[in-house]
Structure 1
Amino acid sequence: MHFSNKKIGILGEELAQKYLVKLGYIILDKNYRCKTGEIDIIGKDGECISFIEVKTRRSNSYGSPGESVNYIKQHKIYKTAQMYILKKKLHKFNFRFDVIEVILKHGSNDFSIKLLKDAFQL
């Protein structure tokens, strides 16, 4: 089964969203875009708003998926989160930045998923 990187990313985001719902998150937004960037998933975990970056790979050959969320990407997510907070008037909430790593097993519908809560801070 051959997938393009875009299709792999979309599949990873769908799996991540289902996983978060099972964990009790309330999904507030998906693929939120503004002039500063994009956030894959925005969810509410208890009294905390979580800005979630989903990274999907076929293997760990080049390191874990979360390792690709470098400082530049973190900064873009942070700036985008600020815009979301202003737009939605969510100042009263606590916030954090999570990363979900999805590894798609080759040749099957099997996958592994890992949530990294509070993966970075700026």
Structure 2
Amino acid sequence: MRAKDLIGRHGEELAVRHLQACGFVVLARNWRCELGEIDIVARDGDVLVVCEVKTRTGLGFGSPLEAVTWEKAARLRRLAARWLAEHELRPGGVRIDVIGVLHKGSAPAVVDHVRGVE
């Protein structure tokens, strides 16, 4: 496995732990269809949360959160609609969250969770 993939997988693990510590229930990970992939699908109370995780080892390409553009957010909304259609759920709402993980060297990773990306 490539180093980049290992870093991404580690970031997703940290994101899942963070969400669970916040009381979220993780419903799916790395869900795919022809439209793309959702990193994490979770439930926050009665709200379905589609969560994009971005992991970086430095800030040379910007913060992890900056990697999610409005185009990516729009794709995540389409993916959320597809996931809901396939799973026949009727949540009280749907939200797009982004979790940025910055993991520089031997320092502890920093997890930044932004709720409700537009």
Calculate the TM-score normalised by the size of structure 1. 0.89
Looking at structure 1, the residues matched to 99 and 53 of structure 2 have their Cα atoms a distance apart, in angstroms, of: 5
Alignment of 1:58-97 (within 5 A): 58-97=57-96
The runs of at least 4 aligned residues of structure 1 exceeding 3 Å deviation read none
The question of 1:102 aligning with 2:101 is answered yes
CA contact (8 A) 2:73 2:117 kept: no
Aligned length: 117
Secondary structure at 1:29's aligned position in 2?
Answer: strand
User: Who is 1:49 aligned against?
Assistant: 48
Secondary structure at 1:60's aligned position in 2?
Answer: coil
Q: What percentage of residue pairs aligned between the two structures are identical?
A: 34
AA partner of residue 72 (structure 2): K
Calculate the TM-score normalised by the size of structure 2. 0.92
Provide, for residues 74-117 of structure 1, a one-character-per-residue CA deviation record: whole Å limited to 9, x for no partner: 222121111101011123430100000000021x1611001100
RMSD: 1.4
Unaligned 5+ runs, structure 2: none
User: Who is 2:110 aligned against?
Assistant: 112
Secondary structure at 1:118's aligned position in 2?
Answer: coil
Unaligned 5+ runs, structure 1: none
